[in-house]
Amino acid sequence: MRVLLDTSDIINVVERSGPISFDRFEAFLRANGALLVLTFTTVLEFVRPVLDHGDFLRLRPPLQSLERLPLAYLSDAHIPMQELKSACEAFLAGAECCAVDPYVRRWEETAQFLGQSCCRMLVDFRIDEAIYMIWRSNPEALRGPVKETEHLRAIVAKDRQIPRIIRINAAHNFSNALRKYLRRSDLYGFTFPTNRVDEIAKWIYSDPRRCPGLRLHYDLYHQMLADVYDEPKDGDIPDHSLAGCLPYVDAITLDRRLAHHVRAVCKRLESAGPARPRYGRIYCGLRALFEEVEEQPTDFDRHESPE
């Protein structure tokens, strides 16, 4: 079982011992043969306070405690392009998409830049050591995507001005989204004919099992765009990145607002194609996940998400 916690739950467990103590959470993971999934995004959010107080030594103990847990590392930033590469190759070959594996061996390999990790040759390289190297060489990288929130608000406001009949046609707009992704395709070692983007967009969109993380991320944006009373929050960009990991984990914790939107999208996608896509279960916080697994052992291969 692979469990992806949002950063607030990680902070509560590691630094505040609530609502579940660290020792109890560790015992829970080991008793259930579970792994805590860490991404580039969640760890950077966890360590961001170092930019305010400048005392890295205060971060070392909680980071080292975190690394005591049974862990898996997921490269969340690269999921859309990994999936799109698989889809483009399959489409051109007249075949079906092959599943991608976004997991890597070590946390620094989840970094949101491509190429060889500068730390890969180091043996037993700890997360706190990787964070320290980033902090010393490029501290602004620790801010992650939060600085882009104002840009997101501007995009949402602009998109909401588009006539509703056009804005809600997500299937039609999907080809435009793919064109933006494909501008970076050479960085991932593939190309795709620009005159066939509309064809592959229609093919991918017809079955949500194709590019499941990209599709979930795309539909989540349109879901939230349609809710005109829901203004973008500071944590939306990293939270959306977590939501795109849902096809690759068994359970995820999200705040109540985002969980509501993600569940709505998953429900719609589960009835959109010839077969149901596979998503992890969604929980509004760690306590909800913990209590369900402890009190009613759950088959985490099921597709349904608890309400």
> For 187-202, how does the pLDDT look when each residue is reduced to its tens digit (9 = 90+)?
899 999 999 999 999 9
Q: Please report which confidence band the pLDDT of residue 230 belongs to, taking 50, 70 and 90 as the band edges.
A: low
Contact between 305 and 263 (Cβ < 8 Å): yes
pLDDT in tens, 244-280: 899 999 999 998 888 988 999 999 898 876 778 889 9
Q: Tell which wins on pLDDT, 41 or 138.
A: 41
- pTM recorded for the entire structure: 0.83
Domains contained in the chain, number: 1
| Out of 132-136, 201-205, 217-221, 268-272, least confident range | 132-136
**Mean pLDDT rounded to a whole number for the chain:** 81
Q: Is residue 42 part of a domain?
A: yes
pLDDT of residue 157: 60
Q: Is residue 165 part of a domain?
A: yes
Domain that holds residue 150: 2-295
pLDDT of residue 271: 85
Helices and strands per DSSP (H, E), number in the chain: 15, 6
Judged against a pLDDT cut of 70, whether residue 55 lies above it is answered with: yes
CA-to-CA distance for 167 and 185, rounded, in angstroms?
26
Q: Is residue 151 part of a domain?
A: yes
Q: Tell which wins on pLDDT, 73 or 298.
A: 73
- Identify which of 47, 72, 51, 75 has the alpha carbon closest to the alpha carbon of residue 61: 47
Please compute the mean of the pLDDT values over residues 134-142 and round it to a whole number.
Answer: 76
pLDDT of residue 302: 41
Q: Is residue 306 part of a domain?
A: no
Contact between 95 and 72 (Cβ < 8 Å): no
Q: Please report which confidence band the pLDDT of residue 214 belongs to, taking 50, 70 and 90 as the band edges.
A: very high
Contact between 134 and 142 (Cβ < 8 Å): yes
Q: Is residue 127 part of a domain?
A: yes
The dihedral sign for the CA sequence 175, 185, 145, 283: positive
